[in-house]
Structure 1
Amino acid sequence: MISRMVWTVPLVLPADLVETYAIDLAAAYSAGWAYTHDDVGFSSDGDMYVLSRLSRYKEGGDEAVDPAEQSFSFNLVARYTAREDGVPVELAVFPGRKKHSEFGDAWDLRLTVLPAGTVALSGRHDATYLVDADLTRIIGEYTTDSSRNSFEEYTVGNQFATRIRVTPSGRLLCLVEEYGTNGYGGFAPNLVAVTDDALRPEQRPVLRAVASMDQQPNHQQADLDTRPYVLFQGQPVGMGHRPLGFADSVMTQWDSLYRGRKGRFLGVPEPLADDRFVVPLFSGTFRGGSRGNAFTFALMDDEGKVLGRLEGMDDWQDSPFTGECYRLSIDPARGRVYHLNRYGLYVWDSHGTLLAKVATEVRPFSVLKNFTLLGCSPEGDLVLVQDTQHLMVHIPVPGSGVGDELAAAIELALAAFAKRRTAVKKQWPQVAWHWTWQREAGAPWLL
C-alpha cells in the first residue's frame, strides 16, 4: 500500500516512443502537440493506475509514412506500486482516436479499476475496453462505429458506457450516451445507470437507468436508438421511454439552470455510497467565457431521487467553468467530497454541507491553480497533478480534514512537494518538465 506521506511521482513518457516519433519535448504545446493527465484509479491492494494522453497534429500527418512526420494520439496507462522512487512497474501505450479501426472510436477515455482488478477504459460513444491488471493485453472490448450521417451506414454495435465508477461494495455507476439530447443531432452523455453485476470480457451486464438529463431527446430512431442492455422499468431505454428528466427535477428545486437554454451537460457521477451519488450538472457554455453560468453538484439516490446538493458555492465566485474544472473526487470511507477549481479547494460531508474552502487568492495556496485534482487514494489522500510540470502528488488529509486543519495540511504538503520536485529533477532525465523513462526491452509497443 502507498504510505501516507507527501508522495511525488514524475508522470513519464516512454523514451522509445519519444524517439520513434521524434517528439520535440522542448516545443510549446501551441506547436501542435499536447501531453495531459486524465484519470487515476486504485486496485484493492493499493496499486495506482494513471491515465495520460499524448497527441500531435502535423499538416499531412495522417498520410505521412515517416513516424517523425505523423500525427498521432496515444493513451498511456502507468501502474505504480508502493515504490518510493516513483518508477512505474508497467507503462502501456494504447491507441487513441482512430476511426474505422479494430479499436473503434477510442477517445476522451477515463480509467476505472474494477473489483476483479481489471482496468476499464471508457470513452465517448460508450466505447469500453478491458485491460488485464498487468497492462499486457486488451482482454475485452465493447465498441461501436460512432459515425452517423447520410453518407455512411451506422452500426449499433455492443458499446457499454462513457464513464464507469465503482461503489464501495462493487456496484457499477455508469454514464451512458444517447442520441439527440439538447435537441441536437449527435451523441451526448444522458443516462445515469447502475448495475450489481460484473463487467467481464465475456459479459456486458444489464444497466438499470435511474435518471436522464434530457427526458425527451430528438431525432431518435427505434432501430438505432433503443438500448437493449439499458433498462428502465424492465424495458429498454429509447425513443420516449426513460427516467424522468434529472435537469428538470433540479430546476424545480433550485430554478437555476437557465430554463430553455440548450447545451446543458452532465459531469461524471461519483459514488459516495452504494445508494448515494453526486451528479454534476452544468448549463451550456459560451464561446466568450462561461464564468457565472449556473451549475449544481446534486445528491441523488439509486432510484434517481434528488436528495439535495453540495451547498456553499457561488455561480461567479466559485465557478468551475474557469479552466473547465468539472470533476469531483470522493472519499467514501470518510464521507467526503472534494473539488478543486481556480478559486479554491472545497470539501463537503455526505449530506452536502460545505466543511471547508481553501481559497487560492492568497499564498501559498495560489499555486493550487496550477494543479488538477484527479481523485482520492483508498487511504483518503488527495491525488493532484501539476499540469505543466507533469508531477503527481499525494496529499494526506489528517483527522477531520476541515477548516484550519485542512489548510495547514495543504500548506505543509506544498512545501514538501517543492523540495521533492527539486530532487526529482536531479534524478530523472527531462526536457522542459517532460520526464522520460526507458521501458524494459520487449515491452509491448501498443496494446
Structure 2
Amino acid sequence: MNHAIPVPLPSALVEHHAIDLERKYTDGWGVRVDDVAVAPSGDLYALHHVHRHTYGVDEEEADPAKADFGYSLITRMAPDGTPLDTAVSGQSDLARQDTTLGGPTTGLGEDLWWAQGLCVLPDGTLAATGPDDQTHLITPDLAAVTAHHGMPRWRDDASPRDPFAAWISTTPAGRLLCTASEYGIYNYANPLNNIVSITDQPLTAASKPTLRALASLDARPVKQTEADLRPDLLFDGKPVGMDHRPRPSLTEQLAELEPTSRPGDWYDARLGRPAVVREDLCVVPVFGHIYRSGSRGEPFAFALVTDQGEFAGLLGGMHRYHDSPFTGHCFEIAADPGRERIYHLNRYGLFAWTATGDLAQRLDLEDKRFKPLKHFTLMDCTPAGEVILAHRTQHLLLRIPSPSTLDCLGQVVEDAVRSYAKERAALKKRWQPTSWHWVGSAARVHRL
C-alpha cells in the first residue's frame, strides 16, 4: 500500500501561466488541498485550488504569464496514487479569467475559494459542494458537470434559488447526510450552515431529493419571511423557516450541558461538516466564535445526533484549552462507519472514539513519533477504514491503514509516518518537485 500520494498541478496550467513555483505564497499566490473522497473502487479524488494575484498588474492584462487567475481542480487517482484525470475550472467572475483552462461560468462556482467538499455518491457520481448550498454533480471520469444547485449569496438577490447542500456524506445504506443553509442566522444577510439533514432518496442529475431536518444550530434566525422557506428542506413534514425548525437547537442543548458556561459562549457559533458514524448516528462539529486575537480555550463540541434528530451525547475526553481545535482552525472530523470509529486531528493530538463517544486513544503530537502529524489536515476515512491526511505545505496525502483495534492505533500511525518519509524521498527523486509542488500530467485533463 502507498502511504504517500502526491496531489499534482497539471503541467499545462503551470506552463500556460508561467507559474514561479519557487515564489513564496506571501507574494500573492498559493496551492491548497481542501478535501479528499474515496470511491468504493479505491480511486481517490482530491479537491485542490491554485490562485495568483499579481499586484500592480491591470485586471485586463491579456498575457497569461502576468494575469491573475484562480482555479478549482479535482484530480482522480488510482489506488496506488497514479493520476488518471484532472478537471480544471475557472473560479472567479470578478477578475479576468483565461478560458483556455476552464471558464468561470460553467465550472465549480464564482468565488475563488468556493468549492470546499467532495463526496462520491452511491452511483459513483462525484458531488462537489460549497457555501450557499452550492452542489455540482460531476461524472466519475471528471469529463462533465451534469447538474448544479445553489442559492444567491445575498438575501435580497432576486436570482433563482435552487439550493441543495454545503456538505454531503453518504451513509452505509446510501442515504445522504447533509448540511443546509439559512438566511438570517445571527442577523447575517448571507446564508450560513444551520441545519443538519438527511435524505431518503438519491440525488441524481435529473432529481433532487427532499432533505429531512435533524438538528439546527441556531433556532431563532432573524427576520425570516415566507420567501426564505425551502420546499426541499422539511421538518415534521413542513418547510423549515421562520419559527419552524428542530428545537431545542444544538447550541441550546450544549449551553444546558455546561451550567458554568457564559451567556455568550455559543453566540455566533458555526456548524462543521458532520460525519456518518453508522447508519443511524452521526457526529456534528460545533465551534464558537473565532476571534482575531486568538480563540484557544473557546467552546467547541462534537455532538452525536441520531437519524431521528435525537441528541445522543458528546465525544468526550478533550480539554477545552489543552486540546483546543481553534489553534490552526482544525475542526474536521472523520468517521469509519464500517467499524464505528471516529477520528479528529488538531495541533495537539490525534483522537479516536468509539460510537458511544468514549475516547479510546489520544496520540500526543509532542511525542516525536507523532510530531509530523502537526503538519497535516484530516480529510476522510476510506471504505476500508483507512484514514487520509493531507500535508498543508508539501501537497502530499498520507494514508494510514485501519488498525485492527484502537488500542494499536499508535503503532499503526508510527509505522505509517515512517513509511511516508521513505516513500516521500523516493517520490522526490522520481517527480523532482519544485518547493514541494508536484507537476505532472494526468492521462486526461478536462476543462469544465
Instruction: Specify the TM-score bucket, using the shorter chain as the normaliser.
Output: over 0.9
Separation (CA, whole Å) in 2 of partners of 1:345 and 1:434: 27
Amino acid at match of 2:146: I
Separation (CA, whole Å) in 2 of partners of 1:429 and 1:268: 35
Match of 2:119, SS state, is strand
Separation (CA, whole Å) in 1 of partners of 2:403 and 2:210: 40
How far residue 6 of structure 1 moved from its aligned partner, in angstroms, is 4.7
Report the counterpart of residue 181 of structure 1 in structure 2: 185
- When residues 412 and 6 of structure 1 are mapped into structure 2, their CA distance, relative to the original with a 3 A threshold, is farther
Q: How many residues in Structure 1 have an aligned counterpart in Structure 2?
A: 433
Report the counterpart of residue 270 of structure 1 in structure 2: 275
Separation (CA, whole Å) in 2 of partners of 1:52 and 1:354: 32
Report the counterpart of residue 133 of structure 1 in structure 2: 140
- Structure 1 residue runs of 4 or more that deviate by more than 6 Å after TM superposition: none
1:214 is aligned, of 214, 218, 223, to 218
Moved more, 235-244 or 257-266: 257-266
Amino acid at match of 1:375: D
- Give per-residue Cα distances to partners, 1:163-192, cap 9 Å, x unaligned: 111011111011011111123332210011
Q: Give yes or no for the alignment of 1:69 onto 2:73.
A: no
Report the counterpart of residue 153 of structure 2 in structure 1: 146
| TM-score, normalised by the number of residues in structure 1 | 0.93
Moved more, 44-53 or 329-338: 44-53
Match of 2:289, SS state, is coil
Q: Give yes or no for the alignment of 1:57 onto 2:53.
A: yes
- When residues 61 and 75 of structure 1 are mapped into structure 2, their CA distance, relative to the original with a 3 A threshold, is farther
Separation (CA, whole Å) in 2 of partners of 1:189 and 1:145: 14
Q: Give yes or no for the alignment of 1:370 onto 2:395.
A: no
Q: Give yes or no for the alignment of 1:81 onto 2:78.
A: yes
- Give per-residue Cα distances to partners, 1:364-407, cap 9 Å, x unaligned: 211110111211111111111121111112111321022xx221
Amino acid at match of 2:125: T
Report the counterpart of residue 13 of structure 2 in structure 1: 17
Report the counterpart of residue 195 of structure 1 in structure 2: 199
Report the counterpart of residue 411 of structure 1 in structure 2: 414
Structure 1 residues 422-433: aligned runs within 5 Å = 422-433=425-436
RMSD, matched Cα: 1.8
Match of 1:284, SS state, is coil
Q: Percent identity?
A: 39
Separation (CA, whole Å) in 1 of partners of 2:442 and 2:193: 37
How far residue 160 of structure 1 moved from its aligned partner, in angstroms, is 0.7
* Contact 1:215–1:243 (CA under 8 A) maintained in structure 2: yes
Report the counterpart of residue 391 of structure 2 in structure 1: 386
Separation (CA, whole Å) in 2 of partners of 1:299 and 1:263: 21
- Give per-residue Cα distances to partners, 1:250-309, cap 9 Å, x unaligned: 222234764335321011111111210101111111110000111000111112211111
Separation (CA, whole Å) in 2 of partners of 1:256 and 1:246: 17
Moved more, 137-146 or 104-113: 104-113
Report the counterpart of residue 284 of structure 1 in structure 2: 289
Q: Give yes or no for the alignment of 1:259 onto 2:297.
A: no
Match of 1:250, SS state, is helix
* Contact 1:257–1:282 (CA under 8 A) maintained in structure 2: no
Separation (CA, whole Å) in 2 of partners of 1:96 and 1:350: 39
Amino acid at match of 2:140: A
Report the counterpart of residue 98 of structure 2 in structure 1: none
How far residue 131 of structure 1 moved from its aligned partner, in angstroms, is 0.3
Report the counterpart of residue 395 of structure 1 in structure 2: 400
Match of 2:231, SS state, is strand
Amino acid at match of 2:309: G
1:443 is aligned, of 439, 442, 445, to 445
- When residues 243 and 105 of structure 1 are mapped into structure 2, their CA distance, relative to the original with a 3 A threshold, is farther
| TM-score, normalised by the number of residues in structure 2 | 0.92
Report the counterpart of residue 126 of structure 2 in structure 1: 119
Q: Give yes or no for the alignment of 1:294 onto 2:299.
A: yes
Separation (CA, whole Å) in 2 of partners of 1:226 and 1:161: 15
Separation (CA, whole Å) in 1 of partners of 2:122 and 2:197: 18
Match of 1:214, SS state, is coil
* Contact 1:256–1:294 (CA under 8 A) maintained in structure 2: no
